[in-house]
Structure 1
Amino acid sequence: MPEFIKLPEGDALREVLQGFQMRVRFPQCAGAIDGSHIPIIAPEENHVDYFNCKGWHSVLLQGVVDHQFCFTNIYTGWPGSVHDARVLRNSCVFAMAERGELFPPRQGKINGVQVPIMLLGDPAYPMRSRRVKGYTDTGNLTEQQRYFNERHSKARVTVECAFGRLKGRWRCLGKRLDVDISTVPTIISACCTVHNVCEKHGEAYEGPAQAILQDNRIAEGGAQDAAEPTRVREALTEFFLHPTLIHIRNFI
């Protein structure tokens, strides 16, 4: 697993940044992060903890995905009742980001605002300068904010597609895993590893039309967004609406 699932560095990081820039024109994006429920047979002990908001038992898989639907980081084993944000806070990705070690400190500038290399997440996750989410739609979004959300969604959908391809390839992850709960994380990790092998070698993929289990999430309440990540998102918002008029430099 360490050979095939690892956060990009050096030339690999530049390739991912360029990949998101070319495919969806989202600068400084090093990946998308999300969580997915893996169905399991109710364990004998603490089975209530594994009962998720959809009405079935599951284990959570948190994944970071690059522009080619490959996992660059996974974290799994938490019971299905746990919120995505709590799983994130206990993961190495969160710890590394808080220490400033997730990606190199190289930053681009948009109209004077420092824009770091970042991951894109959905509303379930807290806002950080290196983890940017879309604007909350309260019915009063501006044209610029709606357009930012569209661009953000196009880039972030890569992780949803990766989960769909993962479950389409390994059907055991789309139905209830009938194994001891202690073995579940190993099976999930093995499937993610071989998924990357398949993707990197161009293995043909033929999956079901609806391989992704849709997860309805309610974002946890928390503190207001810090000024720095808010400025980063606002700078990107302006850039997406007027890319030819915005001064942008120093991107990898």
Structure 2
Amino acid sequence: MDAFGRRGFSQVVGLIDGCHCLIIPPLGQRSVFVNRKGSYSVILQGTCDHTERFMDVELGWPGSAHDARVARNSIIFEAMEAGIYVEGNPSTNIRGQQIGPLILADTAYPIRKWLMKPFKVPHTPKQKLFNKKLNHVRGAVERSFGRLKVRWRCLTAPLLVADENVVPILASCAILHNICETKGRVLDEGMRYRHRFVLPTLGAITAAEETNKQKEGMAVRNALADFFLTGRI
């Protein structure tokens, strides 16, 4: 959070994005795995930290799935919704809004009070400045995916492996990426386990609840945009 703050965006703990990894589709399921570009793929959703290492990955969703759907069904989304992903859930008050840990995303993702995305069509100087700051910081996750595919060239062509081996290979590539980023140092014990918390039982949300969550997210985004423009908390 401190590192992202020094880059100009306070309260950020991670950056989320996704990429399509090409596969040979299972027999009889081609339509499920075809993506918007007409290729067959599975989705690798990754969340990276300020060092451009992956701190969470969600794997195996078919290429036809929308980024927002993958995100909503991921562990990190549920943990952030519950306010338990970051220990203590530290928050600060900005322009009258209590703002906790944030993850930055692109416009494909749903806005939440903890998930910030750009204004889709920025009209005002405030909105344009917010988008500029968000996109500047979020470039790190795009670089993470770029280096991931440069290192492991198997991710740039269809994976010629059995269906059950696709997810283990993608997970291995993400782990090896992290090891390379830290120059070969062994991961400490705290990094070996994905779940450091117990998720509450969450049911499906109603349309009204979804609208309310979006309003909360937009209120946080507007408060941050005001702060960036004026410099006043």
Aligned identity (percent) is: 40
Q: Could you say what secondary structure the match of 1:226 adopts?
A: helix
TM superposition score normalised by structure 1: 0.78
| 1:185 paired to 2:173 | no
How far, CA to CA, are the matches of 1:143 and 1:202 in structure 2? 44
Aligned to 1:171: 153
| Counterpart pick for 2:103 among 119, 136, 154 | 119
Amino acid at match of 1:135: F
How far, CA to CA, are the matches of 1:153 and 1:170 in structure 2? 26
Q: Could you say what secondary structure the match of 2:17 adopts?
A: strand
How far, CA to CA, are the matches of 1:229 and 1:120 in structure 2? 12
Aligned to 2:50: 67
Question: How far is 1:150 from its partner?
Answer: 0.7
- Note the residue ranges of structure 1 that are not aligned, 5 or more in a row: 1-16, 204-221, 248-252
Aligned to 1:232: 220
Question: How far is 1:228 from its partner?
Answer: 2.3
How far, CA to CA, are the matches of 2:132 and 2:213 in structure 1? 20
- Note the residue ranges of structure 2 that are not aligned, 5 or more in a row: 186-209
Aligned to 2:91: 107
Aligned to 1:38: 21
Q: Could you say what secondary structure the match of 2:154 adopts?
A: helix
TM superposition score normalised by structure 2: 0.84
Amino acid at match of 1:67: H
Relative to structure 2, which stretch is displaced further, 107-116 or 191-200?
107-116
Matches within 5 A, 1:1-252: 17-22=1-6, 24-103=7-86, 104-137=88-121, 141-201=123-183, 223=211, 226-243=214-231, 246-247=232-233
Q: Could you say what secondary structure the match of 2:217 adopts?
A: helix
Q: Is the 8 A contact 2:12 2:101 kept in 1?
A: yes
Amino acid at match of 1:53: R
How far, CA to CA, are the matches of 2:153 and 2:90 in structure 1? 40
Relative to structure 2, which stretch is displaced further, 174-183 or 41-50?
41-50
Q: CA RMSD in A?
A: 1.9
Amino acid at match of 1:234: N
How far, CA to CA, are the matches of 1:20 and 1:202 in structure 2? 24
Structure with greater helix share of residues? 2
Question: How far is 1:41 from its partner?
Answer: 1.8
**Alignment: residue pair count:** 209
Deviations 1:125-148 (A, max 9, x none): 1111111111111xx610110110
Q: Is the 8 A contact 2:113 2:213 kept in 1?
A: no
Aligned to 1:214: none
Question: How far is 1:189 from its partner?
Answer: 0.3
